[in-house]
Amino acid sequence: MSETVCQRKTANNIAKVRARIQQAAVENSRDVNSIRLLAVSKTRSSGNVREAFAAGISDFGENYAQEAESKIKELADLPLIWHFIGPVQSNKTEIIAEHFAWLHSLDRLKIAERLSRQRQAHQAPLNVCIQVNIDSESSKSGIKPAELPGFAAELVKLPHLMLRGLMVIPLPLLQTTPESKDQLKCSLSRMRELFQALQQQFPKQQFPQLTIDTLSMGMSADLELAIAEGSTLVRVGTDIFGSRQGHHQD
d(CA 113, CA 100): 16
Question: Can you give the pLDDT at residue 246?
Answer: 42
User: Is residue 91 included in any domain, yes or no?
Assistant: no
d(CA 209, CA 230): 23
Q: How far is CA 40 from CA 29, 55, 114, 232, 234, in A?
A: 26, 15, 25, 16, 10
User: Is residue 74 included in any domain, yes or no?
Assistant: no
| Residues of the domain holding 128 | 3-38+101-241
Total domain count, the chain: 1
* Other Cβ atoms closer than 10 A to 46: 15
> Could you give the 3-state DSSP secondary structure of residue 216?
strand
Contact 216, 165 (CB under 8 A): yes
User: Is residue 84 included in any domain, yes or no?
Assistant: no
User: Is residue 56 included in any domain, yes or no?
Assistant: no
User: Is residue 214 included in any domain, yes or no?
Assistant: yes
User: Is residue 159 included in any domain, yes or no?
Assistant: yes
Question: Can you give the pLDDT at residue 179?
Answer: 78
Give the CATH number for residue 165. 3.20.20.10
> Could you give the 3-state DSSP secondary structure of residue 29?
coil
User: Is residue 185 included in any domain, yes or no?
Assistant: yes
User: Is residue 157 included in any domain, yes or no?
Assistant: yes
The per-residue pLDDT string of the chain (250 residues; one tens digit each, 9 = 90 and over) reads 556 878 889 999 999 999 999 999 999 999 999 999 999 999 999 999 999 999 999 999 999 999 999 999 999 999 999 999 999 999 999 999 999 999 999 999 999 999 999 999 999 999 999 999 998 877 788 999 999 999 999 999 999 999 999 999 988 876 667 777 888 999 999 999 999 999 999 999 999 999 999 999 999 999 999 999 999 999 999 999 988 654 445 6
